């Protein structure tokens, strides 16, 4: 199995490529920018996306969906709770002082809690973790026999996501983390939406919002 995580775009959104070398099928998570870089990595590993999934509908995580889908293929999926936020894509730049001119595109389907997406041997479980946004979704995947969580902007190393940019509340974020992410073992690696990786154990004991 191929599992790569790398930052894209001016805000350094962590994009993930999860691929099955045998079948060539892959899932791209949060391909929000740098389409040609993503396409090059897929080509180098002879992968073709089956799904393009998004942890939430902020522009840095989903803004390139239309262009990326046209370039590499795959079904674009988002939790329906974030469809209203996605409709505001071109307005979101003003919230953080950046120009955003990309309009939303047609989605191919919805993510839902406990939905399992498969691409060859890759099995990705959707975990609805509202708070940062109403439809925020984390993803759990097994890499080399160990679970890994892609938490989007719900959980960061030593912090949690904002809730003032189309979100709900801090209480919702904390509840989502405790009920959906903390059941995983302490040594579970967490790849957040921005910044360095962490582990469930580190956040369980050391995160000031959660300890």
pLDDT tier, 197 (very low <50, low <70, confident <90, very high otherwise) = very high
Domain assignment of residue 82, yes or no: yes
Q: CB within 8 A of 19, min separation 6: which ones?
A: 1, 2, 3, 25, 26, 27, 42, 45, 47, 119, 120, 122
pLDDT tier, 93 (very low <50, low <70, confident <90, very high otherwise) = confident
Q: Which two tokens stand for residue 106?
A: 């047609």
Please check the confidence at residue 100 and state whether its pLDDT lies above 80: no
The pLDDT score that the predictor gives to residue 211 is: 78
Cα separation of 177 and 131, whole Å? Answer: 9
3-state DSSP assignment of residue 160: strand
Domain assignment of residue 150, yes or no: yes
Q: Which domain holds residue 102?
A: 2-206
Q: Give me the number of domains the chain comprises.
A: 1
Cα separation of 207 and 205, whole Å? Answer: 6
Domain assignment of residue 169, yes or no: yes
Domain assignment of residue 53, yes or no: yes
DSSP category for residue 145: T
Domain assignment of residue 87, yes or no: yes
Domain assignment of residue 211, yes or no: no
- pTM, to two decimals: 0.95
**What CATH number has the domain bearing residue 72?**
3.60.15.10
């Amino acid at each position: 199995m191929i599992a790569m995580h790398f930052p894209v775009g001016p805000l350094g959104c962590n994009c993930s490529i999860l691929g099955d070398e045998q079948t060539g099928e892959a899932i791209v998570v949060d391909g929000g920018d740098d389409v040609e870089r993503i396409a090059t990595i897929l080509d180098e590993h002879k992968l073709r996306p089956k799904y393009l999934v998004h942890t939430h509908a902020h522009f840095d995580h989903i803004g390139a969906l239309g262009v990326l889908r046209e370039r590499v293929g795959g079904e674009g999926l988002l939790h329906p709770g974030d469809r209203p936020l996605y409709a505001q894509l071109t307005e979101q730049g003003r919230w953080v002082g950046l120009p955003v001119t990309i309009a939303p595109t047609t989605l191919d389907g919805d993510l839902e809690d406990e939905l399992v997406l498969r691409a060859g041997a890759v099995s990705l479980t959707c975990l609805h973790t509202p708070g940062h946004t109403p439809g925020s979704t984390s993803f759990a995947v097994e890499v080399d026999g160990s679970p890994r969580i892609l938490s989007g902007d719900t959980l960061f190393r030593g912090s949690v996501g904002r809730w003032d940019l189309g979100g709900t509340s801090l209480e919702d974020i904390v509840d989502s983390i405790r009920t959906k992410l903390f059941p995983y073992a302490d040594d579970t690696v967490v790849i957040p939406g921005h910044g360095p990786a962490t582990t469930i154990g580190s956040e369980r004991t050391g995160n000031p919002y959660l300890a």
